[in-house]
Structure 1
Amino acid sequence: MAKDFISRGDLRLIPLAELRLSPLNSRQEIAAEEVEAMAESLAVAGLLQNLIGHLTPTGVEIVGGGTRLRALQRLAAEGWSRHEDLIPIDPVPVKVTADLQEAVAWAGTENSARSALHPADEVRAYAAMRERGASLSRIARSFARSEAHVERRLKLADLPAEALAALRANEISLEMAKALTLAPSGERCLEVLGSVRGRDVRPEQVRRELTPGTVPSTDRRAVFVGLEAYLAAGGTSQRDLFADRTLLEDEALLDRLFAEKGAAEAERIRAEEGWEWATWVPEEYVSWTVTQKLVRLYARPGKLSDGEEAELAALEEREADDTLDEPGRARLAELEARREGGFTDAQRASAGIFVYCSSRDGLSVERAYQQPRAVPRGAAELAPDLPQSLIEDLHRIRLGALQARLMDQSELMLDLLAWSLGGGLRPWARPLAISPTDQPIVPEKGEGTSYPPRLAARLEPNASLGPDGTPAEFEAFRAQGKKHRNQILTEALARTFCTGSSGLSAALARQLGVEVRRIWTPTAQGFLGRCSAGYLDRLWNELVPAAEAEPAHQSFNKLKKGEKAKRLEALFADPDTREALGLSREDCAKIDAWVPAELGWPEGEE
Structure 2
Amino acid sequence: MSEDVQSNQAAPRTERSIETKGRIEYVPYSRLCLSPLNVRKKQPTGIESLAETIYEQGLMQNLVVHEIKSRAKLPKLGVCAGQRREAALDLLFAQGRITKDYPVPVLIVSEGEAVAASLIENREREPMCIADECVAFRLLTEEGKSVAHIAALFKLPDVAVRRALKIANLAPSLLDLLRDDRLDYEQAKVLALADDHATQERVWSEASNDWQRRPSELRAALTKAEIDARDSALAKFVGLDAYEAAGGRVRRDLFSDDQNAGYIENAELLHRLATDRLIELSQTLSAEGWSWTECRTRYDAMEIMRHGRIQSTTREPTKAEKTELADLTKRRDAVQAELDAYYDEEGEADEDRCERLEAAATAAAYAVDQYAERFESFDPDDMKKAGAFVYVDEDGLVCIERGLVRREDAPVNTGNEPHAPVTASRGQTPKAKPLHGEKLCRRLTAHRTAAVQTELAQQPTVALAALMYRMIPVVFRELYERAHIDHAVKIEVQTARDALVSNADDMAERVAWKALEGQRENWAQILPRRADELLAWLLQQDPGVMSSLFSFCVAATVDGISNADRPHPVNELANTLNVDFARYWTPTRTAYFEHVSKARIEAVVSEAVSPQVAGELRGMKKDDAAAAAELRVTDSGWLPEVLRNREVPKHVTYGYSDDNDEEEADTDPETGEAAATVSDDPQDEAEAV
TM-score normalised by L of structure 2: 0.41
Higher-Rg member (1/2):
1
TM-score normalised by L of structure 1: 0.46
